Structure formats: structure tokens, C-alpha cells
Structure 1
Amino acid sequence: MSNAVFPPLFIDSLHSEPGFDEQSFVEAHQNEALVSIRLNPFKPSDTQKGAPVPWCNEGFYLEKRPSFTFDPLFHAGAYYVQEASSMFIGHIFNCVKPDGEPVKVLDLCAAPGGKSTLLNSLLNNTDLLVANEIIKTRVPILADNLTRWGTANSIVTNNDPRDFTRLKGFFDIILVDAPCSGSGMFRKDGSAMEEWSQANVELCHQRQQRILADIYPALKEDGYLIYSTCSYSHQENEDVLDWLCTEFAMESINIPVQPDWNITTSQSPKKGAYGYRFYPGKILGEGLFAACLKKTNDSGTLPAHKNSGQQKLPIKEIALVKEYIKDADNYYYLKVADDWLAIDKHHHESLNTLHKHLYIKKSGVRIGKIAGRDLVPDHELALSVIINKDAVLQIPLKYDEAIAYLRKDNLVLSTADKGWSLMSYEGLALGWAKLLPNRVNNYYPKELRILSALPI
């Protein structure tokens, strides 16, 4: 943001914060932020990339901001546009994730999905990710971004943090990217400047404590809490760490960082808990605070939930559904209304437990509906990495054809094939179309279609 005008008293409030340098900070806010993307390891592509983000193997800075809307690879889930500092959460996760042991992970405040897709990239199919969004209107974008990522080991929920209190000791790792005063996003979001005040900082501090107190019982003993904000204020950062270590059985974890990353390591005044501060002007990215703590007591365990009302699924239908899934026996299948879904079979029991306690919006991959003797495939199946591509027709599209498809324009294709077909671009699926003798029916979801005009 050029010619940034900071809120009154804002700069003064930062002078006592660890690692703050006024000159480099102010100068950084006179310039536009660098754009960065993070590649999807499950969908290799020829996405253009630039210099690497030091703390994230899949992260890259771009020399200039392209039109992501008009890049078919973006819609195919080849990458996520994510601010570089936020990718540090993946570094923390890698430092604490147990080797070889399946883990259950919760991203509590997950929309729009940047950190959820980051965590999902670091998980195996035997690991489970629960991505929760508190605000109902933000759930669809979270679900869409996880659909693009393509895996079958995630569940999207829409719950208040207090609802997780019932899930005692369920999660091995919990990420709380807490609502905050937003000062770390001033360069990207001018409205954050208008809303900032010391009173709002204090209000956010109280809200953060409530959220953390609600979620604490859901973390198992020896599990890890990753806490982050996009604020520079110690009230929302180091003070929260002191509160956690004082009020709960938690100990700080020192995460290794390289000196040339220029991340400021801080310690809370009372308990010496480690935090990691990102300042524009020192790092190539926006403002971030992150920390990791380990839980050292037991809040109890949740009894396994056995679903006595388990569906009796029709054998012929499930056989048809399995034809569309690669390594089909590795998945658990269920029906919600008329829709067939698949989730990695390791998570069958966890799904039952979560279904009892939470409001679930998305489970694994939605495969489609059975109509007569055929499957009407769902968009989630098209974008998934579990689809058996040998079982479906595939039509590779040129760039102009891909854009027309993503706009839900009429497609004219020179092919004699008929029936459901996977529209793809550079080897990655975009969605479904149905090939008929005299036309192509475009089944790209209307709520996802490109509405803006192609840039000249």
C-alpha cells in the first residue's frame, strides 16, 4: 500500500514490541506486497513460479501478479494463492508431527482454506484433517478450496469452538489461527487500518482467550497447539501465551528457524514462551505471529462412537460407484440423501464420532448420484485425486476452450465420443461435460463459473 497512513498511536504501540524496526516497517508499507503461491503436491503441474519461500518447500514468490481468475490451473487446484508468512505454519507442523503415527488435526478457524490446504499437503491418507469454520457464510469457500486440493482425508464442519469441548482428547494437533485486530494485514487490506484501535486489540485478546479455553479439552495429552494471529500486539500474542501457560497445563515448544529467514524470535515476559514474529521490511511477506505449545495433562478421552443405525448400502450401487475410484477398497462409502461419498477407510470411526457431536458440511469426496444404471458424477469427484481416470472419458482442452468451459459458455469439440467426459487442461481435471450427438452440455458448477471479462 503506497503512502500508508497508519492509525493514530499505532506506530507508538509497536516501539516496545520485540524486533520492531520503525524505518524498515514504514518503508515496506510504501510498496506493494509480493504475491506468493503454494503448489499442490498432489497435482504436479507446470505452474510458473519464482524465488522460493525459505520456510516452505512448495512456496514461491511471483515476479508479478498474474490474473489467477483466468488461469485454468488455478481452478484445477494446482496451487493456492497464499501469503508467504502464513506458510510458516507448515514449518511448525513439520517440526512437531510424530513420525509414522496417524494424527487427527483440527484447523479451527479455517476459511478461506489457505492453512487447511497447507496442513493437508503435509498429511498422509491415514491422517485426518477437520477444517472448521465458525461463520456459516464462509463455509462454502472453505469447502471449495479443499475440493480443489483433491484429497479424501478431510472433513469440513461449521461449529462454534465451544462445540469441540465435548470431543475430549480427540485431536493430536490443533491450529487456532485466531480472529485478531489485523494489523499484520495493513499492507494488503486498507480496511484493517480503519478498524484498528487499542480497544479492539483488547476485545480480540478476550475473544482469543475464550476460543482457546473452549478448544483446550479437545487436545489430547502430549498434543500440540499451534497458535497464530496476523497482529503485532503483544496483548494478542505473547500475553496470550503467558495466559495459556499459567491457566492450563501447557509448555512452550522452541521451533528452529534459520537466521537468514529474518524471523524475530520472542519470549513471553512471564513464562518465557517462544513466539515467532514476521515484520514486513525484514521478511518478504506480511505480518504474522505464531507459536507452538504442548499439552501436558489429560482432559479425558472420548468413547468411540459406534453408529448402530449404519446404512445398509445397495450392493449393485456400491459396485458401480467403486468403478470410478482408484484403489477403491481403500475407502469407506456412505450415502447422504442421494449422494454417494467416499472417505479414506481409516476415518470411518472418526466420521461417526464427529457426526454425533458436530455439524458436518463436507466429508471426503462427493462422488455423485445413481440414476438408473449410471452414475451422475459430482464436481468433487472430477477434482479429486482418487478418481479412476481409466473409467472415464477425458477431453484435453486448449487454453481458449478451458476458459470457455470455466465460463460455462458453449463448447464446440471435434470428438466422436459420447457420454460423461472429464474436461482437463494440461493434464489436470477442471470438471464434467456430457457429450451428446449435436452438442456439449457443460456441467461446470454455475456458482464457480468465471463472471469477469477476459483481460485485454
Structure 2
Amino acid sequence: METTQFPPKFLELLDSEPGFNRESFVDAHQKTPAPTTIRLNPFKKADIKTGNQVPWSADGFYLDARPSFTFDPLFHAGAYYVQEASSMFIGYILQQIKQQEPVKILDLCAAPGGKSTLLNSAMTTEDLLVANEIIKTRVPILADNLTRWGMANTIVTNNDPKDFERLPGFFDIVLVDAPCSGSGMFRKDPEAMTEWSEANVNLCHQRQERILADVYPALKEDGYLIYSTCSYSHQENENILDWLCQTFNMESIRIPINNDWGIVETQSALKHAWGYRFYPGKVQGEGLFAACLRKKEETSDPGSFKNNNNQKVDKQGLELVRSYIATPEKFYFFKVNDDWLAINNVHKESLNLLAHRLYIKKSGVRIGKVAGRDVVPDHELALSTIVNKDVILQTPLDYNQAIQYLRRDNLTIDTADKGWSLMTYEGQALGWAKLLPNRINNYYPKELRILSQPAKS
């Protein structure tokens, strides 16, 4: 990549940004490919070959080369997530501010789900994650990635930021990974350069202010706002921090960092709010800006909603469904149409409240449908961490069989087992199949199947 391929005036404007070094920045874009990093799922221990650890992430690792993730069954099992290293700093911020008591966290602009799974990794089952995506067409990928991660303490919503005004003071922590001009992704996505302009930076700044103002009421007093962009522009970063401190009297939180990490610590011009800049050439990662602030204003109570649905409980169906869950006494079971779902008991009231104020697309874990004396299990249950593996049949697959299964090809396996089975690879569940006397019915979801062919070695 030649320097002249950067947008006009881009480097000139960047020269005035804190900690920017033009030579190392340009060299990183011209001579150094974007590193490949993955983040392991702490809830699904798997034997995965990794390289050096990402300094600010216990679960993040650099890979020596970029494999074909499409043809790695452990990727489809949710044993890890492919995530850019700098973005993992959001998880580090959460670890610095999260208290011992249970918290409710909102990831406002969540698709495709990298930061949602990052937050979820640092949470306990007593904590609740609401992952929201504004754009309807991006919700499925968000839901799929949280399904792979496997936890039941998550709810996916499809709402505009303004809708969260209906939940005053509900969240302890709000992450706004704001839509931005995208200059931090130039190395990974050179096409982003063609869309960058000073006018677009200003437009993004205005959009960011609107989003933050809309969601602000949903943050409780003394709650934390984590703000991030993949932009280098002052207007979208330090200027936003000054605006937040001036408009809402928020308090800036300084995050402890190691000088060896290469992160540039900055302060905004007016309110001296702390921010953290990531530059390729200084860090082994892409461009990022992140900051944390605390809300000091009093907030009204979000209230509650008691579910007065007196629908007769299907006790027989409930008992069948409960048998598929490892610790059923810890979960609240409910139905959406014909599907049974489960969420941690502690989140029942929150779910009822959210269901009456937001548009929910996914909640907890979808277990499946009851058909007579049988449960037709859902794919969400297969990938969850709550499935009862002690009583459910499991069929281990080798690599070639796993790829066949993920392609929804016909499987031939020498087994005398019959009935519903979890299809597993190296101990990790991939999905369901029905073992019949003369064939195997592959129930891997059609919309998730691998469509391409593996490369010939």
C-alpha cells in the first residue's frame, strides 16, 4: 500500500493526534499484514493451538498464520471467536470496573457479536447481558454468535437507542461501540479508505452524540459507560468525552495500563477525560479508541412488570424439557409459541420487564418443542453450556465426519445407538442428529451449513 492511497488530508490531520507517529503507522500499513487473533471461550475448554497471548486479554491469542476458520469444527462449536486484538481491551476495561455483585450490562450496538461474547466471558450467570442491534438484518448474526458462546444469561434485542428511555436506570454498565468513520480498520479493510472524509467524520460525531443522549437515561446512577470507536479522529473520540462530561456531568475513569503494551493514554482538552488510543505500529492490532465514564446524576427507577399470564402450565412437557437441562432447578422455563426456553432464575423479572418494553429476538436458551413423549431439541440447546450431557446421547465425529455434518451431507457412522444425539468433535457439541436403524437424519440448521468445499491439500 502506498502512502498516497490514504485519503487526502488524512495523515496530515492524524499528525496532530496524541501519540501518533507517522513513520511507524505508515510502515505498519505498508509492510505488516494485520495480525490474526482469536479469543478462547472460557466456558468451552478445547485443545486449540495458539501463539503469543494478547497482553490485555487472558483469553486472547495471536496465531502464527490465518487458518481456514470455515473448516474448523471447533469454530462452529463456539470454542473460540475470531476477534481483532485491540477490541479485546473492552473486556479489560470491564474487568477493572465490574463489582462482585450481579450487574446488568447493555451492549447497544452489538452486531456481529464480538464485543458481546467478550463481555459475556467476564460475566457470571448472575449477571445479565442485553445485546442490542439497531439494524434488523444484522440481528441474526448477533444471535448466532451468542448461541455459539453458549450462555443462558443473554437477551438479544432489536431496538433504536431511544427505545431504552423506557428503562430508566436499568443497566449498571452500558457499552456503546459507536458507528464511526472507520479509519482504524484501514489495514484490515482498505475499502474503508474510499468512504472516509472529513464530512463523514462530522456526520459520525453527530450520530454518536444522538446515540449516547438516547441511551443515557437507561444507565443507573454510579453506573459505567464504556465508549469506543474504531476511528482516530478527535471529533469522534476526545471531543465526545468532553461533550459527555459537559452535557451530563459524567466522571472520567482512568484505566490502569502497562506502558509496555504500546497503548497511548490521552486526555480531552476541556474536561481532561481519560482515553486510550491504539495505533498499528505501536500495538499489535488495529485502530481503536476506548474510554470509561461514570454517571453521577440520579435516575428514576425502571419499575417492574409482573407476568400475569395465567396460561395453564404443561406439566408433562415441562418435565420432559427439564430432563434436557443439567441443573434445571437453576432455570426459569417458559414458552414462546410452541418452543420451550430457559433463562437463569435470577433473570426472570428482568426478562418480563424487557419483553414489555423492547423487541426481543432471542432470550436465554431455546430448548425445543415437545412432540408427544419426545422433545425435538433446538440447535441453541446443543451449543449451550446448560445441556445435560450426562443423560443425552453423544456421538463423537472425526474431522472428516464433522465437516460432512456441518455441510449437512449424509453421514454414515457405525453405531448401534438410536434416537436424538449430540454430534461432537473433540468433546465440543456441533448440533443434533437423529440416529435411526438404517440412516442418520442430520439436523444441523440449513442456514448455518458450510456451502464451500475444503481446499485440497
What is the TM-score with the length of structure 1 in the denominator? 0.99
Aligned to 1:414: 414
Report if the CA contact (8 A) 2:134-2:158 is conserved: yes
Aligned to 1:299: 299
Cα deviation, residue 298, structure 1: 1.3
How far apart in 2 are the matches of 1:255 and 1:313?
Answer: 49
Cα deviation, residue 4, structure 1: 7.5
Cα deviation, residue 316, structure 1: 0.9
Aligned to 1:329: 329
Please tell me whether residue 104 in structure 1 is matched to residue 114 in structure 2. Answer: no
Which letter maps to 1:402? A
1:147-176 deviation digits (Å, cap 9, x = unpaired): 000010000000000000110000000000
Please tell me whether residue 8 in structure 1 is matched to residue 8 in structure 2. Answer: yes
Report if the CA contact (8 A) 1:177-1:228 is conserved: yes
Report if the CA contact (8 A) 1:4-1:29 is conserved: no
Cα deviation, residue 48, structure 1: 1.2
**Cα separation, partners in 2 of 1:391 and 1:3, compared to 1, 3 Å:** farther
Aligned to 1:212: 212
Aligned to 2:74: 73
Aligned to 2:85: 84
**Cα separation, partners in 2 of 1:60 and 1:300, compared to 1, 3 Å:** same
Aligned to 1:367: 367
How far apart in 1 are the matches of 2:364 and 2:187?
Answer: 36
Cα deviation, residue 2, structure 1: 7.5
1:103-146 deviation digits (Å, cap 9, x = unpaired): 00000000000000000000000000000000000000000000
Aligned to 2:450: 450
Please tell me whether residue 241 in structure 1 is matched to residue 241 in structure 2. Answer: yes
Aligned to 2:45: 44
Aligned to 1:187: 187
**Cα separation, partners in 2 of 1:130 and 1:278, compared to 1, 3 Å:** same
Aligned to 1:401: 401
Q: Spell out the pairing of 1:211-230 with structure 2 (5 A cutoff).
A: 211-230=211-230
Aligned to 2:385: 385
Which letter maps to 1:32? P
Where does the alignment leave 5 or more consecutive residues of structure 1 unmatched?
none
How far apart in 1 are the matches of 2:310 and 2:259?
Answer: 54
Aligned to 1:55: 56
1:178-210 deviation digits (Å, cap 9, x = unpaired): 000000000011221000000000000000000
- Secondary structure of residue in 2 paired with 1:391: coil
Report if the CA contact (8 A) 2:3-2:26 is conserved: no
How far apart in 1 are the matches of 2:176 and 2:349?
Answer: 24
How far apart in 2 are the matches of 1:370 and 1:415?
Answer: 26
How far apart in 2 are the matches of 1:133 and 1:391?
Answer: 36
Aligned to 1:340: 340
Which letter maps to 1:84? A
**Cα separation, partners in 2 of 1:76 and 1:53, compared to 1, 3 Å:** same
- Secondary structure of residue in 2 paired with 1:441: strand
- Secondary structure of residue in 1 paired with 2:390: helix
1:306-365 deviation digits (Å, cap 9, x = unpaired): 112254321111111000001111000000000000000100000001001100000000
Where does the alignment leave 5 or more consecutive residues of structure 2 unmatched?
none
Report if the CA contact (8 A) 1:2-1:32 is conserved: no
Number of residue pairs the alignment of both structures matches = 455
Give me the identity figure in percent. Answer: 70
1:218-248 deviation digits (Å, cap 9, x = unpaired): 0000000000000000000000000000000
**Cα separation, partners in 2 of 1:305 and 1:195, compared to 1, 3 Å:** same
| Superposition CA RMSD, Å | 0.9
**Cα separation, partners in 2 of 1:3 and 1:272, compared to 1, 3 Å:** closer
How far apart in 2 are the matches of 1:4 and 1:274?
Answer: 33
Which letter maps to 1:33? A
Which letter maps to 2:72? D
What is the TM-score with the length of structure 2 in the denominator? 0.99
How far apart in 2 are the matches of 1:391 and 1:304?
Answer: 38
How far apart in 1 are the matches of 2:3 and 2:46?
Answer: 38
Say which is worse superposed, 223-232 or 2-11, in terms of deviation: 2-11
Please tell me whether residue 423 in structure 1 is matched to residue 423 in structure 2. Answer: yes
How far apart in 2 are the matches of 1:210 and 1:41?
Answer: 35
Give the 4+ runs in structure 1 shifted more than 3 A. 1-4
How far apart in 2 are the matches of 1:365 and 1:249?
Answer: 39
How far apart in 1 are the matches of 2:344 and 2:381?
Answer: 14
Cα deviation, residue 299, structure 1: 2.3
Cα deviation, residue 391, structure 1: 2.0
Q: Spell out the pairing of 1:301-316 with structure 2 (5 A cutoff).
A: 301-316=301-316
Aligned to 1:354: 354
Cα deviation, residue 434, structure 1: 0.5
How far apart in 1 are the matches of 2:102 and 2:311?
Answer: 27
- Secondary structure of residue in 2 paired with 1:189: coil
